[in-house]
A and B are shown apart, each in its own frame.
Chain A
């Protein structure tokens, strides 16, 4: 069965610190997709990244980077030099081809970046 675990419920850092948000997933599929979304205080869900199961290359986009490791079933998200505007709830999600592509979300990690 598909499952996503974000063990960190809340994280608080001071501006300019680096922070890593953990995501562990469970799946029996060989073809699956992993997503990260950001939900700022305004409430919308903003797409950040999608990764397929055949591409384990790490990705960097500005201050954001993602580390996908199939060996540990993890897809962790790092924010470098955090800023107050990064304060939000971050969700990791899994989509399995065999399940018709529905997204199953983790419980989310609330990140608070203090000035």
Chain B
């Protein structure tokens, strides 16, 4: 089965450090999403790309978060500088949502900022 691969699975970092999360979407999928899951806010959309172009990043704190797709096989989410309130599980997903296909999620990156 094709899968979305996220690295690292777990990350513990100190406040102020840069964090980079990586995602390899399923080959051929034209849309890539980044979501954040917390107990308080649930599943929030941070940003998403279609054909590698950013469509919407309004869910991200712009001053510290950035999302890119340097190529079709890699999406990155960076936090600089990280803060304790960024502690959450970050999910990447890919699919053809406008065409009504399944949207497949990766296993997530559990980030802890101390």
Binding site for B on A (CB under 8 A): 33, 35, 37, 43-45, 47, 50, 52, 91, 95, 97, 100-108
Contact = CB atoms under 8 A, between A and B. Distances in A.
Given A43-B89, A43-B108, A45-B105, A102 B100 contact: no
Interface of B: 31, 33, 42-43, 45, 48, 50, 55-56, 89, 91, 93, 96-98, 100-105, 107-108, 110
Given A44-B107, A101-B97, 16 more contacts: A33-B100, A35-B103, A37-B105, A44-B105, A47-B104, A50-B100, A50-B102, A91-B43, A100-B50, A100-B55, A102-B45, A102-B48, A103-B45, A103-B97, A105-B42, A108-B42
Q: Is the interface of B mostly helix, strand, loop or mixed?
A: strand
B31 to A, nearest CB: 6
A100 B107 CA distance: 24
A103 B43 CA distance: 10
